[in-house]
Amino acid sequence: MLVIPVIIFLFLIFIFWQSRTRKKFASRNLLKHLAPNRSRSKPIIKLVLFLLALASLTLALVNPKMGTKLKTVKREGVDIVFAIDVSKSMDAEDIAPSRIEKSKQLVSQILNSLGSDRVGLIAYAGGAYPQLPITTDYSAARMFLQALNTDMISSQGTAIGDAIELATTYYDDAQQTNRVLIIISDGEDHEGNVEEFTEQASEMGIRIFTIGVGTDKGGPIPIKRNGVIQNYKKDNRGETVITKLNPATLQEIAEATEGSYISGNVTSEVTERITEELQNIEKTEFEAKQFADFKSHFQLFLGIALALLFLDIFVLERSTAWLRKLNLFNERKKKGAKDGSK
C-alpha cells in the first residue's frame, strides 16, 4: 500500500515536467491544433483505475478471512487486569522514548508472553476508566493499548485508588484464586485514598504487581501540540516542574496484597519477572468462545482488481469522439459566438 502514494507523487512530477516541456515547444493554442484529441482527464482516470486495482490485488494477497463457526473451548489461566497511568507526568522523557510509550511497550511484551490467560485494560489519571473488559482477545487488547495517550482523560491527577477500585469489578471468578492486577505508573498519587482500596483488593484475593516507570532524577513534563514539544510545564513561580519516580507508594501497594514491585527500566527483566510470578499462581479453568472455521474472501478483491484492469485497457488517453459530440462543455456554442462577433 505504501507504493500508492509514491506512484501518485511520481505521476505529479511527470505532469509538471510534461507541462513545462510543452510550453517550451509551442503555445497553448498551437498545441490544441497539433494535438486536438489530447485529453487532460483520461490519464488521471487511468491512474485512479490502476491504483484501485493495485490496492485490490494487495488485499487479495493478504487473503482476508472471516470466522464462520464458533466453538466453546476450555482453558486454564489467570485473569490479569492492566491499569496504566495516563496522567501528563507520563509524558516525561526521563526514560526513552517516554514514560507512557515505555508503559505500552511493557504491556505489549507481557501480552506476548501470556498463554491462555484473560486480560483487561484500565486507563487512569484524575479518575479511572475501563478500556477493555476481561477477554482472551489479545488482538483487541493490543489495539486498545496502542490508543492510550495522555490526552484521553481530561481530569488530570493520579488516582491509583480509583484504578484499584475499578479493577475489583473486572473479575468474575467466585473462587478468588487467579486475580492479578498490574499497575504501571510513575508512582505519583494525588488522591491519597490508596490504603482503603488496597485493603479491599486484598480481601478479594487480588494480587497487585506494580511496575515503576521513570527515574529518580526525573524530568520535565513536556507540553505538546500535534506531537511537537512547545514548552515545559511550570509551577506558580514560573519554574519548570520536575516529575520523579516515586517507588514508595507502588511498593506499599504491592506488599499489602502479597504482590511485588518491579522496576520498569529494562523490558526483558519485567517480562521475565511477571512470567515467573504468574507461574506460581493457581490457574482456574474457564470457558471461552473462539472461531473454529474461517472462510477466505480473497476472490472478491481479486475479481475487483481484474475488472478494474480490464476497464483500464479500454480507457484511452486521447479524447473520445462520442464525448466530443455530446458537447458537454458547450465548446461549439462558444466557437460559434466568437465567429459571429468577428
Q: Is the pLDDT of residue 331 over 60?
A: no
User: Residue 53 has what pLDDT?
Assistant: 93
pLDDT per position as a tens digit, 32-46: 666 666 666 778 888
pLDDT per position as a tens digit, 40-66: 677 888 889 999 999 999 999 988 887
Q: Is residue 80 within 8 Å of 120, Cβ to Cβ?
A: yes
Q: Kindly state the percentage of the chain with pLDDT values over 90.
A: 31
Count the Cβ atoms, other than its own, within 10 Å of residue 32.
11
Q: Is the pLDDT of residue 229 over 60?
A: yes
pLDDT per position as a tens digit, 132-183: 998 888 889 999 999 999 888 877 777 888 899 999 898 876 555 688 999 9
Q: Which three cell numbers stand for residue 316?
A: 484511452
Q: Is the pLDDT of residue 226 over 50?
A: yes
> Which part of the chain has CATH 3.40.50.410?
70-291
Q: Are strands 128-135 and 179-185 parallel, antiparallel or unpaired?
A: unpaired
Unique residue bearing C-alpha cell 501528563: 88
Mean pLDDT comparison of 70-79, 111-120, 166-175, 324-333, highest-scoring range: 111-120
- Report the mean per-residue pLDDT for the chain: 82
Please give the class, per CATH, of domain 70-291.
alpha beta
Query: What CA–CA distance (Å, rounded) separates 151 from 2?
Result: 29
Unique residue bearing C-alpha cell 491462555: 116
Residue 124's pLDDT band (cuts 50, 70, 90): very high
